[in-house]
């Protein structure tokens, strides 16, 4: 019987973890193999080179951080407010290699230095914002207000990880809940 091959998905997930921990420079074939407890030979059967792995990591992130989340929200149905509440819940616990905040922030940083990554990021941001517009637009008739709500929510999702402020006796979770409630009124 032949040796068990490390699944392609494992290489991609480990690559996303390395990216989240140290940026694209940290995605090294030898390091990934060591983390997976395998030899690097299996890598070449799937990817051919590091650039192919990086592209597939970005494909996975794009699919899982945008489309898969939207499908999950839509799959359970409900009106726009119910779907927004579900979206809040899903993104607040997202922790897979492609959905976690660390990968998101690493990709945003990478996009500042790589135009092809910036194009992907723009596509994901636009897809997410379009989806938010569709939800807020279902109960908010003013287009300007829809855009403001979308921008506040999206900025809150990204910026929350950079803000270290205290909240006057409230916990961060309480302030986030108050903000969500305000956005849904």
CA 143, CA 163: separation in Å to the nearest integer?
Answer: 29
Query: Percentage of the chain surpassing pLDDT 90?
Result: 79
Whether pLDDT at 129 is above 50 = yes
157-181 average pLDDT score: 91
Whether pLDDT at 3 is above 60 = no
73-99 average pLDDT score: 88
The one-character DSSP state at 47 is: -
The pTM score is 0.90
Whether pLDDT at 97 is above 80 = no
pLDDT recorded at residue 4: 62
Whether pLDDT at 154 is above 70 = yes
Distances 28 to 60, 62, 85, 105 between C-alpha atoms, Å: 18, 21, 39, 19
**Burial readout 131-142 (b: 16 or more C-beta within 10 A, e: otherwise):** bbbebbbeebee
Provide the mean pLDDT of the chain.
93
Give tens-digit pLDDT for 8-63.
Answer: 999 999 999 999 999 999 999 999 999 999 988 889 989 999 999 999 999 999 99
Whether pLDDT at 1 is above 60 = no
Identify the three-state secondary structure at position 1: coil
158-175 average pLDDT score: 90
Instruction: Count how many residues are written for the chain.
Output: 185
pLDDT recorded at residue 162: 87
pLDDT recorded at residue 6: 85
CA 170, CA 185: separation in Å to the nearest integer?
Answer: 21
Whether pLDDT at 131 is above 90 = yes
DSSP 118-155: HHHHHHHHHHHHHHHHHHHHTT---HHHHHHHHHHHHH
- From the number of C-beta atoms within 10 Å of its C-beta (0-12, 13-18, 19+), residue 41 rates as exposed
Whether pLDDT at 2 is above 60 = no
Q: What is the CA radius of gyration of the chain?
A: 19
Q: Please give the class, per CATH, of domain 58-184.
A: mainly alpha
Query: Percentage of the chain surpassing pLDDT 70?
Result: 96
């Amino acid at each position: 019987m032949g040796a068990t091959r490390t699944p392609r998905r494992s290489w991609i997930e480990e690559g996303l973890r390395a990216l989240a921990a140290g940026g694209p420079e940290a995605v090294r074939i030898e390091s990934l193999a060591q983390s997976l407890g395998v030899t690097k030979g299996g890598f070449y059967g799937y990817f051919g080179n590091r650039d192919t792995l990086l592209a597939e990591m970005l494909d996975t992130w794009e699919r899982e951080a945008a489309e898969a989340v939207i499908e999950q929200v839509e799959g359970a149905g409900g009106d726009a407010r119910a779907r927004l509440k579900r979206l809040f819940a899903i993104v607040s616990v997202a922790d897979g290699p492609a959905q976690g905040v660390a990968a998101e922030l690493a990709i945003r940083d990478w996009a500042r230095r790589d135009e092809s990554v910036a194009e992907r990021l723009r596509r994901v941001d636009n897809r997410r914002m379009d989806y938010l517009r569709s939800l807020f637009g279902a109960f908010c008739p003013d287009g300007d207000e829809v855009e403001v709500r979308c921008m506040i929510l999206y900025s809150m999702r990204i910026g929350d990880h950079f803000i270290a402020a205290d909240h006057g006796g409230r916990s961060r979770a309480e302030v986030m809940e108050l903000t969500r409630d305000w956005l849904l009124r």
